[in-house]
Amino acid sequence: MIPNLQIDARRLWDSLMDTARIGGTPKGGISRLTLTEADRQVRDWLKTECERLGCTVTVDEVGNMFAVRPGRRSDLPPIAIGSHLDTQPTGGKFDGVLGVLGGLEILRTLQDSGYETNAPLMLVNWTNEEGSRFAPAMLGSGVYAGVFDRAYADSREDRQGVTFGEAVEAIGYRGEAKAGSVQFGAMFELHIEQGPILEQEEMSIGIVEGVQGMRWYEISVTGREAHTGSTPMPMRRDALVGAARLIDRVEAIALEHAPSAVGSVGLIEAQPNSRNVVPGRVFFTVDFRHPDDAALDVMEQKLQAAVEETARKTNLAVELKTVWESPAVRFDADCLASVRRSAEAAGYPARPMISGAGHDAAYVARVAPTAMIFVPCAGGLSHNEEESTSFEECAAGAQVLLGAVLDYDGR
């Protein structure tokens, strides 16, 4: 039996709306890139709130934050709950934030009722989940899980040449704890779906059984800058024309592996970006995803072939670099059973699903039993300032998170 505790939906919503002002945009979203001043402010806020609840807050060497509420038994490893507070440059109010503030609401609910769990509970805020300022995504949880080492994380540069190491120190969040030394026995991550399925099927809860595989590439195309008015077409080495052909191929490759595959070019820089100069150099990124790693292998071979063909058929130099690969993940059966029982006990319609987006839980699953809970978002829209999840949907997610944790704790 899951103990009958109710989260405070109003308090959760107010925290979501209040903290959304930190980095808030005029269009109602959040611009809170990792390790910026806005990120520092929201981290400070979280730390204060957790300490107010009597939690001990530890920060590790890559800025991951862990707030522990003791349980009845200190011999048991903590049960972790959490997600990320960083956002895309034009992010919404819920991506990541709901998982952290939903977790905070669990701690507050338990504190209010004086409920003692068996295991300690641990609220986690992972650093740089988004991967927008510093690639790759899920960097903090990746270092935690031993996928990357600290030196690698520290060396990552943003597009201005600032390193991750410099940025984490600049905001005062280089903690003492070695990454991976702050251990827990399981983790539950609540998140918005960031896709349309739950809304279309009128489901309140997604029981997330896994995460699809993801690969990130960077492509540099080099030609030669020249005058647009006086350089005849056959004499040009236009890097942007080469890039355009490749970008078209990225979409075509994804469509060849429909309906499961997706392929995107989200970042492009042309140099010198002047209307009367033939572009001499273009840099762009490719993001391929598929639930099946073997399909991703084939998509990668096709991209490689397209790059070689472009280099062969044009007088451009083309370089392809893999910057990140995250294989498909399956979550833990016991954690998933706790989520299922919790959704059932709370009376919410739920369905199993696979996540299209990357999440810290994908890396954490390598070192601890892990599962995720999804709630719908309007129109499936995310990574957009208009991203929207209702008061009731946020409440349902936090309630199912609480039940899942209590169910797991009482096993």
Q: Which is nearer to Mn ion, 138 or 179 (CB)?
A: 138
Could you tell me the smallest distance in angstroms from the CB atom of residue 134 to ligand GLV? 12
Q: Which is nearer to ligand GLV, 131 or 140 (CB)?
A: 131
Could you tell me the smallest distance in angstroms from the CB atom of residue 358 to ligand GLV? 3
Say whether residue 278 binds Mn ion (CB under 5 A): no
| Piece of 67-75, 88-96, 219-227, 264-272 that binds Mn ion (CB under 5 A) | 88-96
393 binds, among ligand GLV, Mn ion, none (CB under 5 to 8 A by kind): none
79 binds, among Mn ion, ligand GLV, none (CB under 5 to 8 A by kind): none
Say whether residue 96 binds Mn ion (CB under 5 A): yes
Binding-site members for Zn(2+) are 84, 95, 130, 191, 383
Binding-site members are 84, 95, 130, 191, 383
Binding site for ligand GLV (CB under 6 A): 130-131, 137, 357-358
Could you tell me the smallest distance in angstroms from the CB atom of residue 353 to Mn ion? 15
Could you tell me the smallest distance in angstroms from the CB atom of residue 280 to ligand GLV? 30
SS3 for the chain is CCCCCCCCHHHHHHHHHHHCCCCECCCCCECCCCCCHHHHHHHHHHHHHHHHCCCEEEEECCCCEEEEECCCCCCCCCEEEEECCCCCCCECCCCCHHHHHHHHHHHHHHHHHCCCCCCCEEEEECCCCCCCCCCCCCHHHHHHCCCCCHHHHHHCECCCCCEHHHHHHHCCCCCCECCCCCCCCEEEEEEECCCCHHHHCCCCEEEEEEECEEEEEEEEEECCCEECCCCCHHHCCCHHHHHHHHHHHHHHHHHHCCCCCEEECCCEEEECCCCCEECCEEEEEEEEEECCHHHHHHHHHHHHHHHHHHHHHCCCEEEEEEEEEECCEECCHHHHHHHHHHHHHHCCCEEEEEECCCCHHHHHCCCCCEEEEEECCHHHCCCCCCCCCCHHHHHHHHHHHHHHHHHHHCC
| Piece of 35-43, 94-102, 157-165, 310-318 that binds Mn ion (CB under 5 A) | 94-102
Could you tell me the smallest distance in angstroms from the CB atom of residue 113 to ligand GLV? 34
Could you tell me the smallest distance in angstroms from the CB atom of residue 194 to ligand GLV? 8
Indicate the residue whose CB is closest to ligand GLV.
Answer: 358
Q: Which is nearer to Mn ion, 35 or 357 (CB)?
A: 357
Q: Which is nearer to Mn ion, 86 or 409 (CB)?
A: 86
Structure tokens at 290: 């598929």
- Interface residue with Mn ion, options 61, 86, 95, 189 (CB under 5 A): 95
- Interface residue with Mn ion, options 124, 179, 261, 357 (CB under 5 A): 357
Q: Which is nearer to ligand GLV, 195 or 376 (CB)?
A: 195
Say whether residue 60 binds Mn ion (CB under 5 A): no
- Rounded Cα distance between 250 and 268, Å, is 14
Q: How many residues bind Mn ion (CB under 5 A)?
A: 4
Residues engaged in binding Mn ion (CB under 5 A): 95-96, 357-358
